[in-house]
């Protein structure tokens, strides 16, 4: 074998090694950023749902209002005593909610009717709104679809929201179905359990669109601060990731599975 062939073989091996290292680094970087996005998004979604439900389900049946109020430092106003109406939740320059999250800015919640009524639509928008250091813009629209075959209230939710943190913005576009499994007929909030499933995408700051879907419906138990079960699938350019939230235990852990099959236990944001 001549020197030129030896050199070519050595160069090819070096390039393959560099390529593998680069792929590992890219996958690790994407893994870390994508996981951070999912984690922050989960926290944002839970926090927004708390506020939306607290002020739009206050009539008694299925409501959280008095039993699950927004932070006492927030100013809540309504522009009408009848429907349609807009409820404004103003957190001012900074206000700590019941879960220790610092919020600022305003949430506008437009209601066509009591959300417990079939056909009612709730549209939520924001003005200079932050949760901790995370800014939320866009809209969330929820429609009461009526009961399913098991007589459980169901809702359609369209999410068109951008989330900015650490200097980067990513866009979330989803269509979801929410099923109220239990607690709808009581005035308590701690007994509310919801199931959420749907599909959509996340647009990364660099313009890459990442499809995301629930493979097992997510269970939200109001007595717990975290998603207690269900799984999502994220189809990234370098492979498919899944996040499994468990089988019902209330904890701050989930299991991440990478495209190569490796698993890791991760900690969730509150």
Establish if 4 belongs to a structural domain: no
Q: Give the angle 127-103-33 at the CA atoms, nearest 5°.
A: 90
Whole-angstrom distance, CA of residue 126 vs CA of residue 162:
11
The pLDDT, as a whole number, for residue 98 is: 79
Q: Is residue 13 part of a domain?
A: no
Residue range(s) defining the domain that contains residue 193 = 48-267
Asked if the structure places residue 9 within a domain, the reply is no
Has residue 163 been placed in a domain?
A: yes
Is residue 23 included in any domain, yes or no?
no
Q: What is the pLDDT of residue 23?
A: 46
Domain count for the chain: 1
**pLDDT the model gives residue 16:** 42
Q: Which residues contact 148 (CB under 8 A, 6 or more apart)?
A: 154, 179
Q: Does a structural domain hold residue 227?
A: yes
| Below-50 pLDDT ranges, the chain | 2-30, 60-63, 65-67
Choose among 183, 181, 176, 144: nearest CA to 158. 176
How far apart are the C-alpha atoms of 185 and 62, rounded to whole Å? 5
Q: Phi and psi at residue 107, in whole multiples of 5°?
A: -115, 130
Would you say residue 8 lies in a domain? no
CA max distance for the chain: 90
Three state DSSP letters for 141-193: EEEEEEECCCCCEEEEEEEEEEEEECCEEEEEEEEEEEEEEECCCCCCCCCCE
- Cα separation, 263 vs 142, in Å, equals 35
What pLDDT, on the 0 to 100 scale, is given for residue 92? 96
* Residue 174, token pair as written in the block: 């989803």
Q: State the pLDDT at residue 30.
A: 42
pLDDT at position 236: 87
In this prediction, residue 34 carries a pLDDT of: 60
Query: Is position 130 within any domain?
Result: yes
Global pTM value: 0.82
Three-state secondary-structure class, residue 197: strand
């Amino acid at each position: 074998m001549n020197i030129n062939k030896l050199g070519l073989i050595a160069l090819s091996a070096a390039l393959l090694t560099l390529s593998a290292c680069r792929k590992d680094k890219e996958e690790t970087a994407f893994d870390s950023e994508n996981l951070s996005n999912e984690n922050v998004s989960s926290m944002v979604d839970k926090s927004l749902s708390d506020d939306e439900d607290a002020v739009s389900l206050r009539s008694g049946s299925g409501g959280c209002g008095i039993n699950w109020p927004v932070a006492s430092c927030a100013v809540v106003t309504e522009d009408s005593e009848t429907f349609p109406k807009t409820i404004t939740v103003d957190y001012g320059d900074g206000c700590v909610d019941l879960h220790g999250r610092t919020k600022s800015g305003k949430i506008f919640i437009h209601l066509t009717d009591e959300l417990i009524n079939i056909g009612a639509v709730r549209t939520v928008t924001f003005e200079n709104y932050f949760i901790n250091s995370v800014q939320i813009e866009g809209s969330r629209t929820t429609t009461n679809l009526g009961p399913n075959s098991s007589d459980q209230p169901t809702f359609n939710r369209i999410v068109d929201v951008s989330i900015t943190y650490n200097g980067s913005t990513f866009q979330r576009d989803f269509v979801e179905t929410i099923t109220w499994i239990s607690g709808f007929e009581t005035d308590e909030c701690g007994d509310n359990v919801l199931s959420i499933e749907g599909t959509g995408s996340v647009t990364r700051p660099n313009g890459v669109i990442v499809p995301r879907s629930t493979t097992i419906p997510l269970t939200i138990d109001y007595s717990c601060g975290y998603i207690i079960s269900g799984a999502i699938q994220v189809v990234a350019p370098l492979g498919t990731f899944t996040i499994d939230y468990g089988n019902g235990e209330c904890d701050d852990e989930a299991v991440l599975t990478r495209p190569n099959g490796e698993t890791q236990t991760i900690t969730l944001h509150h």
